[in-house]
Amino acid sequence: MKEEIRVAIVEDDAEIRQLFGLLLDNSPGYQCVAQYADAESALDQLEVAEVDVVLMDIDLPGVSGIQCTEKLKQESPELNIIMLTVHEDDAALFDSLCAGATGYILKETSPVQILEDIRTAHQGGSPMSSAIARRVIQTFHQPQKASPLSERETEVLTYLVEGQNYRTIAEALFVSPNTIKAHIKNIYRKLEVSTRAEAVSKAHKDRLI
C-alpha cells in the first residue's frame, strides 16, 4: 500500500490556497500537511521532514517564491518543489530552475492534472508542459558560430585557460616559446582581446573550449 503524498502549499491568495487544500485532502493518496500565505511563514514553520512536495506560488509578497525555493532546497535538497505561476515568463522559469524547482506549472492547470503533476514530482519526474520543456531544452542548443581560431590556436587556447605560461605550453607542444607567443598574438587579434584573462573569458563565453 502506497503512503500518502504529503503536500505543503505556499500561496498568498487565500481562495486558491484553500481550494488546493480541499482538493488534496479530498483526493485519496494525497494529504495537505501545511498551508502558508507567504514565504516567511513557510521558511519559519515548514518541517522539511514532514513534507514530500511543495506547491510554491512564484509571485509572493515580500520574499519571492524563487528565493523561498532556494532556501528550502539548501535545507533539504531532496524536497520536491513545484512552481505555480499565472504568466509564462522566461526569466522566472530559469531563475526557478536554478533555485532548485522540480517542476513548473501554470495555475490554470486542471485539478486532475495538478494531482498527477504532484505524483510525478514525488516519483522522481519533473512536471511541466511540453511548451515549457521546449523553452528549457532550447537553452542547450547553441549552434556553435564557426570558431575564428585555427586548430593549433584552439589547442594553445586550452593551455591558456589552464593558466600556463609561454614556456610550459611550448614544452607541452614541443615547439619554441616564441611560436606560442606568435599563436597567442594571433588569438588576441582574432578574439579582439589583449590579455590572457580576457581571452579566457571570451573562450568560456563563446564556448571555444
Stretch binding a second copy (CB under 8 A), from 11-19, 38-46, 55-63, 97-105: 97-105
Binder among 31, 67, 186, 201 for DNA (CB under 7 A)? 186
Binder among 134, 176, 204, 207 for DNA (CB under 7 A)? 176
Binder among 79, 128, 187, 208 for a second copy (CB under 8 A)? 128
Whole-number Å distance between alpha carbons of 5 and 98: 25
The percent of the chain in helix, strand and coil, each rounded to the nearest 5, is 50, 15, 35
Out of a second copy, DNA, none, which partner does residue 176 contact, by CB within 5 to 8 A per kind?
DNA
Copy the grid coordinates of residue 74.
539548501
Whole-number Å distance between alpha carbons of 18 and 16: 6
Question: In terms of CB distance, is 185 or 204 closer to a second copy?
Answer: 204
Copy the grid coordinates of residue 53.
512536495
The CA–CA distances, whole Å, from 129 to 53, 88, 106, 107, 209 equal 18, 11, 9, 12, 33
Stretch binding DNA (CB under 7 A), from 23-31, 51-59, 93-101, 192-200: 192-200
Binding residues for a second copy, rule: CB under 8 A, are 73-74, 77, 94, 97-102, 120, 124-131, 133-134, 136-137, 140-143, 160-163, 165, 193-201, 204
